[in-house]
C-alpha cells in the first residue's frame, strides 16, 4: 500500500490553519490520519536525477522512490539505466514510478528532452532536480589539457546550470515552487592537489548554488548543494583501484586521511540529498552541506 500525504509535504508558503499547528509546529493534514513519522517524505513528488545509473545517483533514486517520489533518471550507460528503471518499477503496487532517459547532459537537446519527458510522464510538474551528473579529472596547471578542462566544466558546471535553467520556469509556475540540489564536493570549499579542473569546477558549482538561491528564494525555489567527500562507488572497482567493496586493507590505507577512518557510502550521500529535497530542510537555501567524515575539519 502506498502511503501518500501531499499536503504534509507542501512548502511553508502553502501552509494554512487547517494544516499547520503553530503551538506544536507540527503539520496536520485533514485528509490524512497517518502519524507524521509514517508519512512518506516525498509522496507524489516528481524528481529528475541526472547521472543515476550508478553510485550516488542510483542510491538517491532508490531512496526517493522509497519515500514516495516518481523519478526520471538519466545517464549515458543505457544498460545500467534500464536495470535501475526495472528495479524501481518492481514494487509500489505495480505503479510506474521510474523512467530512464538516455542522455548526455553536455548536449542542450538532451537536457530539453529529459525535462519534456518528465513533464509528460508524470503530470506536468517538476518538484525536485538533483544535478548529479559529473566527472572526476586529474592534472596540475601544467598537465591539464584544454580538452580535459572543457570536458570537466561542460558536465560539472554547464550541465548543472543548463538543467536548472530549463527546470526553474516550471518550478516558478507551479504551487509550492521546487527544490534543486547540486552535487558539489568537499573540494567545493577547500582545494586539493593534482585536480585543477575538477577543483575549479566544483568551486564553481558551489558559487552557482549560492547565486541561484538568492535569485529564486522569493519564488519558493530552494537551491542547495551536497558536498561529498570520498565516496566508495563501484567505478573505483571498475577501473581497478580496489578489487571489491571488501578490499579492506586498500580501503583502510586510502582513507587514513579521513578523521572517521573510512569512505562514505553512496547511501549516506543519498540520505543527505533526501534531507535537502524534503520538507525537513524547508528553511535551508544557498547552503553547501559537506558530508566528508570530518575531512575538511582538519
Cα 221 → chain centroid: 15
Nearest to 219 by CA among 181, 162, 180, 171: 171
Return the residue matching grid coordinates 558549482.
Answer: 205
Tell me whether residue 283 is one of the annotated catalytic residues. no
Q: Write out pLDDT tens, residues 64-103.
A: 999 999 999 999 999 999 999 999 998 656 678 999 999 9
Distance CA 154, CA 158 (A): 5
In the prediction, which pLDDT does 83 show? 96
Residue-by-residue pLDDT tens, the chain, 298 positions:
333 343 333 333 333 333 434 434 444 444 444 455 457 999 999 999 999 999 999 999 999 999 999 999 999 999 999 999 999 998 656 678 999 999 999 999 999 999 999 999 999 999 999 999 999 999 999 999 999 999 999 999 999 999 999 999 999 999 999 999 999 999 999 999 999 999 999 999 999 999 999 999 999 999 999 999 999 876 555 555 555 555 556 666 667 889 998 889 999 999 999 999 999 999 999 999 999 999 999 8
In the prediction, which pLDDT does 81 show? 96
In the prediction, which pLDDT does 32 show? 45
Cα 59 → chain centroid: 10
Residue 233 and residue 61 in contact, taking contact as beta carbons nearer than 8 Å: no
123: Cβ contacts below 8 Å, ≥ 6 apart: 46
172 HSE (CA, 13 A, CB side) = 11
In the prediction, which pLDDT does 105 show? 98
Q: Write out pLDDT tens, residues 219-242.
A: 999 999 999 999 987 655 555 555
Nearest to 275 by CA among 292, 263, 289, 286: 289
Q: Which of 100, 198, 216, 283 is catalytic?
A: 198
Q: Is 237 helix (H, G, I), strand (E, B) or coil?
A: helix
In the prediction, which pLDDT does 245 show? 55
In the prediction, which pLDDT does 238 show? 52
**CA distances in angstroms from 253 to 209, 230, 249, listed in the order given:** 34, 13, 6
In the prediction, which pLDDT does 92 show? 52
Domains and CATH numbers, the chain: 41-229+264-289 (3.40.50.720)
In the prediction, which pLDDT does 94 show? 64
In the prediction, which pLDDT does 90 show? 80
**DSSP secondary structure, 84-138, as one string:** HHHHHTT-GGG---EEEEE--TTSHHHHHHHHHHHHHHTTS---EEEE-------
Nearest to 71 by CA among 94, 101, 41, 91: 101
Residue 187 and residue 266 in contact, taking contact as beta carbons nearer than 8 Å: no
64 HSE (CA, 13 A, CB side) = 34
| Helix, strand, coil in percent for the chain, rounding step 5 | 45, 15, 40
The H or E element spanning position 26 is strand 26-27
Tally of residues, the chain = 298
Amino acid at each position: 500500500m502506498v502511503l501518500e500525504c501531499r499536503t504534509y509535504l507542501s512548502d511553508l508558503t502553502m501552509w494554512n490553519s487547517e494544516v499547520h499547528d503553530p503551538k506544536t509546529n507540527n503539520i496536520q493534514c485533514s485528509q490524512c490520519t497517518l502519524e507524521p513519522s509514517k508519512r512518506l517524505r516525498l509522496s507524489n513528488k516528481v524528481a529528475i536525477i541526472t547521472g543515476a545509473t550508478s553510485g550516488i545517483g542510483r542510491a538517491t533514486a532508490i531512496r526517493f522512490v522509497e519515500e514516495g517520489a516518481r523519478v526520471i533518471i538519466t545517464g549515458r550507460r543505457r544498460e545500467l539505466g534500464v536495470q535501475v528503471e526495472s528495479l524501481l518499477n518492481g514494487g509500489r503496487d505495480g505503479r510506474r514510478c521510474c523512467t530512464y532517459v538516455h542522455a548526455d547532459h553536455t548536449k542542450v537537446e538532451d537536457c530539453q528532452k529529459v525535462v519534456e519527458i518528465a513533464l509528460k510522464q508524470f503530470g506536468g510538474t517538476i518538484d525536485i532536480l538533483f544535478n548529479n551528473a559529473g566527472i572526476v579529472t586529474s592534472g596540475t596547471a601544467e598537465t591539464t589539457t584544454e580538452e580535459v578542462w572543457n570536458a570537466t566544466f561542460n558536465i560539472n558546471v554547464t550541465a548543472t546550470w543548463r538543467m536548472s535553467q530549463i527546470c526553474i520556469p516550471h518550478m516558478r509556475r507551479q504551487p509550492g515552487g521546487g527544490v534543486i540540489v547540486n552535487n558539489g564536493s568537499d573540494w567545493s570549499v577547500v582545494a586539493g592537489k593534482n585536480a585543477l579542473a575538477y577543483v575549479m569546477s566544483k568551486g564553481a558549482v558551489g558559487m552557482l548554488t549560492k547565486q541561484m538561491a538568492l535569485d529564486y528564494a522569493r519564488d519558493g525555489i530552494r537551491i542547495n548543494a551536497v558536498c561529498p567527500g570520498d565516496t566508495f562507488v563501484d567505478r573505483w572497482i571498475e577501473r581497478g583501484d580496489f578489487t571489491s567493496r571488501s578490499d579492506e586493507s586498500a580501503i583502510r590505507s586510502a582513507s587514513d586521511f579521513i578523521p572517521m577512518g573510512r569512505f562514505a557510502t553512496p547511501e549516506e550521500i543519498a540520505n543527505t540529498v533526501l534531507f535537502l529535497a524534503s520538507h525537513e530542510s524547508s528553511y535551508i537555501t544557498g547552503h553547501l552541506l559537506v558530508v566528508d567524515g570530518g575531512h575538511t575539519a582538519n
